[in-house]
Structure 1
């Protein structure tokens, strides 16, 4: 069952008549799955792509060769390129990219421990990049990341304009 944050976000997007798409690595489709479980999500959810392995990021999302080697698959720049490149092919008002380390391995380091998640979200009028750190087991980290995305999208789409 989707969290309250996801439900609230979906309801706000439905009200605004905005669509959303996801390009996921660490969350492996969980964002798309959680949003799809909300009633009437078909009005807003365009879909998503899981690019877990670095080769898919290069082959399908056209991340330039060498970029992942230089910055690692779990990095702000790779997440940004995932969002921008996926958004070129998928017509949605909002495009969310997520990478990170939900479990040991990958590019884990003292400066990038397990629980580090990178988000890059494209809105109609701006882009937002975030690096966040969550604690817990892999499932808990991913669920916290899903909630963080839903909360951020909700807040950004419901800002009052002056």
Structure 2
């Protein structure tokens, strides 16, 4: 089932001549790697950036230190900022950002426990999707669930999208 979700996304992207790039914090490249295994990955995957540490978010993706301080590196606001910051680094039709807490030691609180993940997909300057989910399990299980969830969000958005290409 999971592999089919990535494959279906890849087919939809390729069919619609759309490309993607990913900025991944908590998933550290796992989403990009999963998409790279799709049959038509060469038609749609531009690349990805693992921005695990806040300094990479600041230095490469130009996320302001004030934004990181106010909302924490694991937040909807920073997820939007890394997705939009990626636009200046990798030319693609769709830019995806993921942040979150896969293990203790980050910015977890009672309202934002370990397992909380944030997702943002941009189609040009427009939000394609935005979501927050709380997953359970160990770090590896949370990362797996988050990557699959992102593919499902993308698939649903692509099914509703009317590309101009």
Q: TM-score, normalised by structure 1?
A: 0.93
Is 1:15 the counterpart of 2:47 in the alignment? no
Q: Displacement of 1:154 after TM fit?
A: 0.9
Q: Displacement of 1:115 after TM fit?
A: 0.7
Gaps of 5+ in 1: none
The CA RMSD measured in Å over matched residues stands at 1.4
Q: Displacement of 1:160 after TM fit?
A: 6.9
Corresponding residue for residue 28 of structure 1: 28
1:33-112 aligned at under 5 Å gives the runs 33-112=33-112
Gaps of 5+ in 2: none
Separation of aligned partners in 2, 1:110 and 1:129: 22
1:141-152 aligned at under 5 Å gives the runs 141-152=142-153
Corresponding residue for residue 155 of structure 1: 156
Q: Displacement of 1:66 after TM fit?
A: 2.0
Aligned length: 160
Separation of aligned partners in 2, 1:159 and 1:77: 24
Q: Could you say if the C-alpha distance between residues 57 and 158 of structure 1 is closer, same or farther in structure 2, counting changes exceeding 3 Å?
A: same
1:121-132 aligned at under 5 Å gives the runs 121-124=121-124, 126-127=126-127, 128-132=129-133
1:98-149 superposed Cα distances (whole Å, 9 cap, x missing partner):
0000111100111100110011110247302211111111111111111111
Corresponding residue for residue 5 of structure 2: 5
Secondary structure of 2:99's counterpart equals strand
Q: Could you say if the C-alpha distance between residues 89 and 103 of structure 1 is closer, same or farther in structure 2, counting changes exceeding 3 Å?
A: same
